[in-house]
Amino acid sequence: MIKTATSDNPYHLNGSSSSHLFFGRQAAFAWILEQTNDDLATDFPLVLHGPPKIGKTAVLKQIESGALHPPFIGIYLNLAEIALDSLSALYWEIANAGLKALSRLNIELDTLNHTDFIADPAKAWQQQFLLPSEKLLKDKRPFPTNDPRRLLFLFDNTQLLIEQITAGILPENTLANLHAHLTNETFARTIFAITEQPDQPATELPLLQNCIFYRLPPLNKEETVALVRQPVPFTLVQDVAQYIYHVTDGHPYKTHQLCHALYEHQQQYNLGQITVADVATVHKLSTQNGAKSLPTYDLQGHSGVKQAFRLAHRLDFWRSRSFYLLVVALFLLGASILLVTTVGNSPLSQRIAGFLGATTATPTAVPPTPT
């Protein structure tokens, strides 16, 4: 496997957030808009949950980047990067994240008073951020007839906050109060993203009994094919992209990993087209590093793709034996040369040399010198 990544590789490696690729997830966005409709009550927090690296952060970051604007201004907070040992520190970080989000839209609030947040976090939050920002957003509508823009607080890695509550470091009602303090029926909503473990689904956590859940699924076939084909400058046909979908099961992180390796493979060998044989080769290298083997999959595409898939296995067969064949050939050549050298000018050596295409010296009679 290539150890150094090409600088213009569009796919991320090892969970890096440097890639800006994003495809699909329209169902998740539609669910958020539906659940934040003004006609619905705000009593129940929204929870976006799923296994590790399924794309929850990517969805939240897209909202922060404007995927739901208008009407929503996304305010992203990664709870893995925030001090969770006190309510004052938590509310202070949320307020500062809100200031930065509004500042990017040229909406400026007064400077926050840290002392007030230490004394009474909820009160300081209401007076110094929530109420002033609501007024400013209503006053700064692009057109008087437009609905005012709203805030959507996006909490990532909420499982860390739950761990602090469970450990008794934060009060038991922290999550419920946080939702209540940040939520306004017509102005502000919250979404909590949770990474769940197989033995503990988010829907069964006691602290989340009064929540509305959306489990983020893997990418579907069309979304995966778009992620595989659209970012690259070289040819990768539809059937090969569909094969990659079956290899990764549409898991975005696994798809990024495989496509990152394929991109490096293409750059190294200057390939004009990626084939199923290339996918099999690259995936086999990753399998040697601990990844699972290729799934059994009956390609339903064109006959050329099926032939390429069979070719991949044939190439693996011959590549696994090519080194040994080369060693045997070199051994035979060396033995032949040694035999010729040992026998010398005998008739046998001349026959062997003739067989190998070599030239041996033939003795010539020399006439006696006249006296």
Q: Can you give the CATH number for the domain in which 69 is found?
A: 3.40.50
Domain boundary among 193, 215, 237: 215
Are the C-beta atoms of 238 and 72 separated by less than 8 Å?
no
Distances (CA, A) of 45 to 36, 150, 243, 257, 304: 10, 16, 39, 33, 51
Are the C-beta atoms of 71 and 150 separated by less than 8 Å?
yes
Tens of pLDDT, residues 169-227:
999 999 999 999 999 877 899 999 999 988 999 999 999 999 999 999 999 999 999 99
Does 264 share its domain with 344? no
- Give the helix/strand (H/E) hosting 255: helix 252-269
Tens of pLDDT, residues 23-58:
889 999 999 999 998 766 677 999 999 999 999 999
Amino acid type, 242: Q
Does 63 share its domain with 164? yes
SS (H, E, C) 295-344: CCCCCCCCHHHHHHHHHHHHHHHHHHHHHHHHHHHHHHHHHHHHHHHHHC
Does 99 share its domain with 54? yes
| Position 371 in a domain | no
- What length is written for the chain? 371
Does 75 share its domain with 203? yes
Are the C-beta atoms of 257 and 290 separated by less than 8 Å?
no
Whether pLDDT at 340 is above 60? no
Does 78 share its domain with 200? yes
279 vs 316: CA distance, rounded Å = 12
| Position 290 in a domain | yes
Packed helices 303-343 and 276-288: angle between N→C axes, nearest 10 degrees: 70
- Three-state SS for 358? coil
Whether pLDDT at 82 is above 50? yes
Domain boundary among 182, 215, 248: 215
Whether pLDDT at 274 is above 60? yes
Higher pLDDT, 268 or 364: 268
Q: Which of 138, 157, 158 is nearest to 146 (CA)?
A: 138
Residue 146: pLDDT band with limits 50, 70, 90: low
| Position 337 in a domain | yes
CB atoms within 10 A of CB 31: 16
Determine the pLDDT at residue 322.
58
Span of 102-111, 239-248, 304-313 with lowest mean pLDDT = 304-313
| Position 363 in a domain | no
Determine the pLDDT at residue 293.
57
Whether pLDDT at 308 is above 50? no
Does 68 share its domain with 108? yes
Domain boundary among 215, 238, 270: 215
Q: How many domains does the chain have?
A: 3
Does 128 share its domain with 238? no
Higher pLDDT, 350 or 224: 224
Does 64 share its domain with 175? yes
CB atoms within 10 A of CB 235: 13
46 vs 210: CA distance, rounded Å = 9
| Position 226 in a domain | yes
Tell the residue number behind the tokens 């099999």, with chain if given: 280
Determine the pLDDT at residue 302.
46
Higher pLDDT, 57 or 327: 57
Determine the pLDDT at residue 166.
96
| Position 200 in a domain | yes
Q: Which residues contact 22 (CB under 8 A, 6 or more apart)?
A: 58, 62
Does 32 share its domain with 172? yes
Residue 77: pLDDT band with limits 50, 70, 90: very high
Residue 244: pLDDT band with limits 50, 70, 90: very high
Does 30 share its domain with 75? yes
308 vs 310: CA distance, rounded Å = 5
Whether pLDDT at 367 is above 60? no
- Considering the chain, what percentage of its residues have pLDDT values greater than 90? 56
What average pLDDT does the chain have? 82
Determine the pLDDT at residue 38.
73
Token pair for residue 180?
């209540």
Whether pLDDT at 248 is above 90? yes
Whether pLDDT at 309 is above 50? no
Determine the pLDDT at residue 312.
46
Q: 170's torsion region: left (phi>0), alpha (psi -120 to 50) or beta?
A: beta
DSSP 8-state code for residue 275: -
Residue 192: what are its φ and ψ, rounded to 5°? Answer: -115, 120
Q: Can you give the CATH number for the domain in which 262 is found?
A: 1.10.8.60
| Position 38 in a domain | yes
Determine the pLDDT at residue 343.
57
Determine the pLDDT at residue 310.
47
Q: Which of 266, 263, 193 is nearest to 227 (CA)?
A: 263
Does 204 share its domain with 117? yes
The predicted model gives 333-359 an average pLDDT of 60
Determine the pLDDT at residue 299.
47
Give residue 284's domain range. 221-314
> In the chain, where do the E strands start and end?
46-50, 72-78, 150-156, 188-195, 212-215
Task: Please tell me the pTM assigned to this model.
Answer: 0.76
The predicted model gives 278-292 an average pLDDT of 76
Token pair for residue 21?
């690729």
- Beta strands 150-156 and 188-195 are parallel
- Three-state SS for 69? coil
Does 32 share its domain with 104? yes
DSSP 8-state code for residue 110: P
Determine the pLDDT at residue 253.
93
| Position 361 in a domain | no
